[in-house]
């Protein structure tokens, strides 16, 4: 062992913090349009670097992962001041190569820029535009990516590392499974030469048995389940996630083969966005909020309305409770005791097995505690949201009779 290596190992053992880096801090992400680059940090790196989210053996470590704003072609560069001469150190290049596509350019930034320019000569978004909307003169377009095409599959490979970095317990999907769909949101301001990727979502098409007659008639029914949903950090806080989700729902509502829209294991942030988006969408569809009552609600109406909206039971139950709390908050002719009983009834059914093992006093206390926590959370979600709750005029179309169009 050389004297220099011996000094290094001695220094590392005496001051390990000098050779240990947070992988969340070391990994720097960039998106660039060729003129400016926007930097953002990952939320999670444990799927790549382990549960401790640390990297040992390097000083002043920086891992740069850059993407073109339009094609999302990646560039990887790894820099450090010093490295321990230790065979057990993590090979950073080999580790990152497991999660980025083979098209990733390493170290040579000029080669990366040249390859982007060459690719853009014939590049088109590999899919079909299914919807668009505008916000402050900026046009946003949603594309359903063709994962059966080489270009569509390649785009997915370039995007998918973000699932690991921004969704807790996120994992890669099998994009070659025909039942997976990829939808990408792009923005383009009037002065922009090219659109920029804002975010994306993956959705799985679960086959649903349509009943004997429909099955014999070869009618297809699908429960579409949103699996991953990401808005790039630079675009967050602008309501784009809510708009993206709402326009996807509009597209799925117009598809007769889709009978239910489901979300897989949503986190709290997505749940909040979804609740507010769904409530706003009900208003846009002309939903009759007066039908939502805490006492003697029409169960047949619930079944038919939920099917019409293609909402899963859990989500529709949340919306009904949110509407009741909204009415209570705004003095819209509902009784607090009736609302409380309405919500407690669902909480009891959901937790019946555990609650039935308790004595009555404890059971009542548990239910009251659960109700108070839920009420507080619902009021937080409602915030300053305004719902169009008013009496429907005679002869006015109900939302059930409206033709939903994309």
Spell out the residues 6+ positions from residue 286 whose beta carbon is closer than 8 angstroms to its own.
Answer: 397, 398, 399, 402
Residue 399 labeled ligand binder:
no
> CA-CA distance, 42 to 58, in Å (whole number)?
20
Where would I find the beta strands (DSSP E) of 208-245?
222-231
Q: Which of 104, 118, 206 is nearest to 160 (CA)?
A: 104
The answer to whether residues 112 and 67 touch, using CB atoms and an 8 Å cutoff, is no
In whole angstroms, give the CA distance from residue 24 to residue 357: 45
Burial level of 62, CB count in 10 A (0-12/13-18/19+)?
middle
Q: What is the phi/psi pair of residue 118, to 5°? A: -65, -40
Q: Is the dihedral of CA 173, 176, 182, 184 positive or negative?
A: positive
Strand partners for 141: 132, 186
- Strand stretches in 155-217, DSSP E: 180-188, 196-207
Residue 297, marked binder: no
Decide if 264 is catalytic.
yes
- Residue 327's CB: how many other CB atoms inside 10 A? 20
Going through 48-193 in order, the beta strands assigned E by DSSP cover 54-56, 58-59, 62-68, 74-79, 82-83, 105-106, 127-135, 138-145, 180-188
Residue 122 known to bind ligand: no
What is the distance between the alpha carbons of residues 391 and 397, in angstroms, rounded to a whole number? 12
Q: Is 229 annotated as a binding residue?
A: yes
As a whole number of angstroms, the distance between CA 179 and CA 222 comes to: 10
Answer whether 264's CB lies under 8 Å from 227's CB.
yes
Q: What are phi and psi of 92, to 5 degrees?
A: -65, -40
* Degrees to nearest 5, angle at CA 351 with 348 and 356: 80
Q: DSSP secondary-structure letter at 190? A: T
Catalytic member of 221, 264, 376, 396: 264
Consult the annotation and say whether 267 binds a ligand. yes
Q: Is 354 left (phi over 0), alpha (psi -120 to 50) or beta?
A: alpha
Catalytically annotated residues: 264
Binding residues: 229-231, 267, 276
Binding residues for acetyl-CoA: 229-231, 267, 276
């Amino acid at each position: 062992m050389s004297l220099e290596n011996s000094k290094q190992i001695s220094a590392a053992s005496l001051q390990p913090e000098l050779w240990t880096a947070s992988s969340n801090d070391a990994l720097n992400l960039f998106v660039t349009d060729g003129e400016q680059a926007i930097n953002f940090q990952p939320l999670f790196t444990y799927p790549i670097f382990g549960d401790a989210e640390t990297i040992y053996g390097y000083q002043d470590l920086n891992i740069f992962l850059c993407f073109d704003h339009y094609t999302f072609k990646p560039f990887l560069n790894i820099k450090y001041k010093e490295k321990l001469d230790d065979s057990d150190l993590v090979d950073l290049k080999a580790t990152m190569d497991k999660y980025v596509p083979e098209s990733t350019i390493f170290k040579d930034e000029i080669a990366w820029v040249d390859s982007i320019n060459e690719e853009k000569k014939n590049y088109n978004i590999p899919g079909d535009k299914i919807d668009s909307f505008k916000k402050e003169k900026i046009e946003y377009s949603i594309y359903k990516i063709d994962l059966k095409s080489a270009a569509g599959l390649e785009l997915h490979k370039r995007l998918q590392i973000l699932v690991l970095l921004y969704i807790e317990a996120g994992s890669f999907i099998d994009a070659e499974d025909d039942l997976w769909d990829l939808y990408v949101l792009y923005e383009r301001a009037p002065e922009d030469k090219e659109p920029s990727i804002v975010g994306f979502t993956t959705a799985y098409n679960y086959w649903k048995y349509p009943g004997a007659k429909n099955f014999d008639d070869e009618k297809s029914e699908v429960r579409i389940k949103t699996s991953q949903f990401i808005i790039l950090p630079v675009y967050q806080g602008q309501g784009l996630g809510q708009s993206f989700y709402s326009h996807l729902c509009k597209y799925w509502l117009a598809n007769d083969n889709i009978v239910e829209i489901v979300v897989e294991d949503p986190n709290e942030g997505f749940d909040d966005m979804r609740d507010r988006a769904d409530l706003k969408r009900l208003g846009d569809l002309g939903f009759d909020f007066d039908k939502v009552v805490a006492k003697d609600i029409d169960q047949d109406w619930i079944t038919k309305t939920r099917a019409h909206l293609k909402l899963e039971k859990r989500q529709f139950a949340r919306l009904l409770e949110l509407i009741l709390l909204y009415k209570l908050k705004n003095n819209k002719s509902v009784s607090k005791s009736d609302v409380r009983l309405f919500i407690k009834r669902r909480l009891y059914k959901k937790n019946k097995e555990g609650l039935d093992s308790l004595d009555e006093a404890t059971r009542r206390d548990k239910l009251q505690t659960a109700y108070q926590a839920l009420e507080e959370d619902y009021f937080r979600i409602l915030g300053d949201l305004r719902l169009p709750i008013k009496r429907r005029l005679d002869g006015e179309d109900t939302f059930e009779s409206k033709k939903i169009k994309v």
